[in-house]
Amino acid sequence: MADPARRGYTLPVWLAAAACAAVAALRGEPWQAERWLELLEPAGLAPVPVQAAAALGDGWTLAESRCDPGEGLDLTRGLAVWVLARWLEPSPASSGAKGGEDTRGEQQAEKGQQPDQDQDQDQHPWLQLEAGEGVGIIASSGQLCISAYARALLHTNLRPLVPAGRRLQLRVVLPSGRQLAERTSNAAFGVVEGLALIGTQAASQASADPAQLQLTLDNLATRLAAADFGGELILVLGENGLDLAPRLGLPAPLLLKVGNWLGPVLVAAGQGGVQRLLLFGYQGKLIKLAGGIFHTHHHLADGRAEILTALAALEGLAGPELEALHGAASVETALAELQAYQPELASRLRSRLAATIERRTAQYLARHDAAGMEVGAVLFDRGRQVCAVGPIGAHWLAN
C-alpha cells in the first residue's frame, strides 16, 4: 500500500492547516511552521507545514500553506492556499462574499450532510465559511463546492480553537485557482470560478499512477473479504462522482472510487466474487469504455470523438450533421448541440452509448477470465444529472 507521508496530502488537508494557522494568529499564539492535524481518513495526528501567518489589520489574519500532493502528476502541486480569518459578532451577519456556508454541527460534518438549521450548544453557528477568489462554487446554487471530508476536517481541527460563544469567519482564496480550473473537468460537474475543495481522505492519489491502482486493488480486496460483503459493488470514477453518487440515491457503503486504471480493477472484481457491479461516472470519461479503452487517462488514449461519431452513425446521423458532431469541442458539447435540434436522436444515442459500455465491458471481462459478473452503467452530465442508463444499470436505479 502507498505510503501517505511519501505521497503527500489532498487539498482539504492544506486548507485545514492554513485555517488552523490563521485562527492561531487570531488567538495571538506564537508562529509555528507546522500544524498538527487530526486527519480523520485515516485517523491519526500528523504535522502539516504552513508557510506563514500574520495579522492584516481590521481584525483579519492571513495564513498560507502550499499543496504538496507527493509523487505523480497533480495540478495542485505548489498551489498556494490562503485563509483569511476574523471573529464575528455573536449574531449572524452577512459578509457579502460569494459562496458563504455555515458549518453548524459535528454530526452534520461527519455525516457529510449539507448545512441546515441545526446549531451548536451555544445556539449560534460558530463557523462562516466563504469562497474567495479562485475557489469553485456550484453554479446552480452559488454555494461553496466543498466535500464532506473537507468540512469534517475543518470542523474537527478548528472547533477546539474557537472559544465558547465566539463565531469565526473564514474566507478561502486560491490565487491561481481560476486558471488551474480551466485544466480540469470542474465545469462538467457544474463547478465554476475556481477549484473545488474536494477530497475524501488525507493521502493524495494520482489517478494515472500505478501506485494508485495498487491502493484501489487493496481497498477492493478489503471489501471482498468483509463479512457483510453481499456481492454488489459500485465503481465510481473520480472525486466528483464520489460526491454525487450518494446524492442520487446510490448506496454509500457500496461505493469504491476508481481512477484511470479501470480494466484491472474490473477484472479483480469479477475474479474476486463480485456478482453485480455498477459503473458510475461522467459521460465524457466513461465513453472510452464503449470503444474498448479500459485505461481512461488521456495521455494513453482518447478516441472519444470517434466513438461518439460511430455510435451516432449507427443511429442514422450522416453528412454535415455527423461531421459537426465529430468536430465538437467535447462530448458534452456534441450531445448538447444534438439535443437542441434532434432531441429524440440524442436520447437514442445516449442510450446506445450506455448499452455499448455494458456490452464492451462484458466482452473485456470474458477475455480476461472474469466472465459472469453482471455490469451496468449509469452516466451523468455537467449538470450533475443522470443522462444515460444502460439496460442493466436501469435495475440499479429502480431498486
Burial 225-250 (b: 16+ CB within 10 A, else e): eeeeeeeebbbbbbbbbbbbbeeeeb
- The arithmetic mean of pLDDT across residues 208-225, rounded, is 78
Q: Which CATH superfamily is domain 4-195 in?
A: CbiD-like (3.30.2110.10)
**What pLDDT score does 92 carry?**
47
Provide mean pLDDT across the span 282-303.
79
Q: What is the pLDDT of residue 261?
A: 78
Residue 124 has which C-alpha cell? 449560534
Could you tell me the pLDDT band of residue 8, with boundaries at 50, 70 and 90?
Answer: confident
pLDDT at 19 over 90: yes
Q: Quick check: 3 pLDDT over 90?
A: no
Residue 104 scores a pLDDT above 90: no
- Has residue 305 got a pLDDT over 80? yes
- pLDDT of 211: 60
Q: Is the pLDDT of residue 105 over 60?
A: no
Ramachandran bin of 61, using left for φ above 0, alpha for ψ from -120 to 50, beta for the remaining angles: beta
Q: Which amino acid is at 287?
A: I
The whole-angstrom separation of Cα 390 and Cα 396 is: 10
pLDDT score at 282: 87
| Contacts (Cβ under 8 Å, ≥6 apart) of 238 | 185, 207, 257, 259, 281, 282, 285
The string of pLDDT tens digits covering residues 150-161 is 999 999 999 999
Of 298, 262, 265, 303, give the one whose Cα is nearest residue 281: 262
Query: What percent of the chain lies above the pLDDT cut of 90?
Result: 49
Look at residue 108 in the predicted model and tell me its pLDDT.
34
Decide if pLDDT at 186 tops 70.
yes
Contacts of 384 (CB under 8 A, 6+ apart): 140, 189, 190, 244, 247
Q: State residue 107's pLDDT score.
A: 34
How is residue 90 written as a grid cell? Answer: 455573536
The band of 254, judged by pLDDT with boundaries at 50, 70 and 90, is very high
- Residue pair 22/81 in contact (Cβ under 8 Å)? The answer is no
Model pLDDT, residue 72: 57
Global pTM? 0.58
**From 86-90, 125-129, 170-174, 206-210, the region with the lowest mean pLDDT:** 206-210
Segment 306-326, tens digit of pLDDT: 999 999 999 999 999 999 999
The full length of the chain comes to: 399
Q: Is residue 43's pLDDT more than 90?
A: no
Does position 240 have pLDDT exceeding 60, yes or no?
yes
Cis peptide before 69 (omega within 30 of 0): no
Q: Write out the three cell numbers for 59.
A: 481584525
Mean pLDDT rounded to a whole number for the chain: 83
191 pLDDT above the threshold of 80:
yes
Structural domain boundaries in the chain? 4-195, 210-398
Contact yes or no for 49/65 (Cβ under 8 A): yes
Answer whether residue 354 shows pLDDT above 80. Answer: yes
Query: What are the backbone angles phi and psi of residue 332, rounded to the nearest 5°?
Result: -60, -45
The pLDDT value given to residue 333: 86
Mapping DSSP onto H, E and C, the string for the chain reads CCCHHHHCECHHHHHHHHHHHHHHHHCCCCCCCEEEEECCCCCCEEEEECCEEEEEECCEEEEEEECCCCCCCCCCCCCEEEEEEEEECCCCCCCCCCCCEEECCHHHHHHCCCCCCCCCCCCCCCEEEEECCEECEECCCCCECECHHHHHHHHHHHHHHCCCCCEEEEEEECCCHHHHHCCCCHHHHCEECEECECCCCCECCCCCCHHHHHHHHHHHHHHHHCCCCCCEEEEEEHHHHHHHHHHCCCCHHHEEEECCCHHHHHHHHHHHCCCEEEEEEEHHHHHHHHHCCCCCCCCCCCCHHHHHHHHHHHCCCCHHHHHHHHCCCCHHHHHHHHHHHCHHHHHHHHHHHHHHHHHHHHHHHHHCCCCCCEEEEEEECCCCCEEEECHHHHHHHHC
pLDDT of residue 358 exceeding 90: yes
